[in-house]
Amino acid sequence: MDEPRTAAAPTLLVTVSGDDRPGVSSALFDAIADVGSEVLDVEQVVVRGHLTLALLLAPAEGDHARLEEAVGAVARGLDLDVRFESGTGDNAPRRTGRVAVVLLGAPLLASAVAAVTARIAAHGANIDRIRRLSRYPVTTVEFDVSGADVLSLRRELALESHVHGVDIAVAPAGLARRGRRLVVMDVDSTLIQDEVIELLAAHAGREAEVAAVTEAAMRGELDFAQSLRERVAVLGGLPVEVLDEVRASIQFTAGARTLVRTLKRLGFTVAVVSGGFIEIVEDLARELGIDHAHANRLEVVDGRLTGRVVGDIVDRAGKAEALRRFAAEAGLPLSRTVAIGDGANDLDMLEVAGLGVAFNAKPVVREQADTAVTVPYLDAVLYLLGITRDEIEEADAADGTPTPAPPIASR
């Protein structure tokens, strides 16, 4: 094996730009091969058909001029612009403190991007690469950053998120961003658009009353366990068949099926935990192929709801404990878990998880979560994990799953 070149060895940086077309890279490398050179680095990006290709080469001694002449001839023949820069050595080693900053907006305005990049620079970090993850239903870009501290940069960028009305996630990069994970979701107003207990209360003519209590509990103004007992009490006497009627009326949140389908393709473990009822939640989980479901159980006597729950109530502490249990069963550390929720009873599991995502959440939850998604598409969480829209659609196309394009979100 050849010895690696020394830091003082001469190198040549070649930057080519112009209209993209098949065969550009092949023609350039054929010309380079004819002269002979070691390839130290290559990076290419195409934006709306415009190609930018950067090559870091280590020519043999005395071959710089021949290499420039050969590459220049190909570039002229393809009507491309080319620039040469002589230097020494390879790229400087990347600093530690690698993080991924994901910026999501609908629309994503230049003012928001400017503010985020300025904050990263002021933090003393460097943006090494940028790529677009999605264009619809929201625009998402990912910054590959080095020299940053996750927690402090997350706090700093939270200010820009609030000012510019965009969602920003900051997470460790590198190997920490890859591999299997556990994703745990709340159900009501997260996986589904509805609040199940309100749908049940409608059958008892008490929907408005129960909805008001639910709203206060989700804001963290009421003890969840006590408020649940009060709300369940109004269901006493309803025939058990109302559960089937409510289940039939439930609507999944936009993007819920895509989120779960994609996570399962990646080999992730997916779970739902709910302060609602297992009689509904278990069926939803089964339909989507979700691995675990944990929720309260309604007491039924002689075919009617008694207005009570059986066993311990699944409150905020219970949700966090379920996440820990699912992680242990999957053999995953908590750092490889993601929790998604919208209410105050989700706060403990959002804190315990490696990444806590507030999904269209109450203010108290947005303030305490690691990041927030404020567009109405649950599959936007995939972008926070570094998964691109193209990858999702390619996987769907491969197995014939239709993925209609949703409308552009507006705030």
Residues belonging to the active site: 186, 188
DSSP 122-157: HTT-EEEEEEEEE-SSSEEEEEEEES--HHHHHHHH
Beta-bridge partners for 369: none
For 263-395, where are the E strands, in sequence order? Answer: 269-277, 292-301, 304-310, 337-341, 355-359, 371-373
Best CA proximity match to 166, nearest among 79, 99, 108: 108
Best CA proximity match to 272, nearest among 387, 354, 192: 192
Cis peptide before 239 (omega within 30 of 0): no
DSSP 19-62: E--TTHHHHHHHHHHHH-EEEEEEEEEEETTEEEEEEEEEEPTT
| CA–CA gap between residue 97 and residue 176 (Å, rounded) | 12
